[in-house]
A = this chain, B = another copy of it.
Amino acid sequence: MLTRIDHIGIACHDLDTTVEFYRTTYGFEVFHTEVNEEQGVREAMLKINETSDGGASYLQLLEPTREDSAVGKWLAKNGEGVHHIAFGTADVDADAAGIRDKGVRVLYDEPRIGSMGSRITFLHPKDCHGVLTELVTSAAVESPEH
């Protein structure tokens, strides 16, 4: 069961510049940064609010680490902007299986590792009215790690 907007993924050319924009314009601070080599991104998570399911909503700023990564190719085609949205669930495996059974293409056979040790999968945007949609189950313990 999807119980929150977990994050909005935003692709950018330069992570440091974009983090600085969000900090100076809105006062949003970096909660966590990491490099995900499998996804080919360097990212910053900005925590915006906590949510009624015990989780939180973030902006996820994404800079590609290589041009041939999914985000790199998307950025070359579309320019900077919203790359995907993510819903939080306590059980990404069960939700992905249920959604696959409804005929929506799930992009990974098994969930992979996302931000902050979460387990994630993606749904094909052509099956989701143009929206690349991620499902995410957070790691058990979330704490700021800069």
Contacts and interface: CB of A to CB of B under 8 A. Distances in A.
A82 B80 contact: no
Contacts of A81: 125, 129-131
A99 interface: yes
Contacts of A85: 8, 82
Interface string A76-93: 000111100101000000
Interface in A5-28: 5, 8, 10, 12, 18, 21, 24-28
A48 interface: yes
Contacts of A34: none
Contact size range, A? 35 or more
Contacts of A50: 51-52
A129 B4 contact: no
Contact of A26 (B2, B21, B26): B2
A70 to B, nearest CB: 16
Contact of A21 (B2, B21, B79, B129): B129
21 contacts: A1-B27, A3-B48, A4-B48, A5-B48, A5-B49, A8-B8, A8-B82, A10-B129, A10-B130, A10-B131, A24-B102, A25-B99, A25-B102, A48-B87, A49-B52, A51-B51, A51-B57, A79-B130, A80-B130, A81-B125, A81-B129
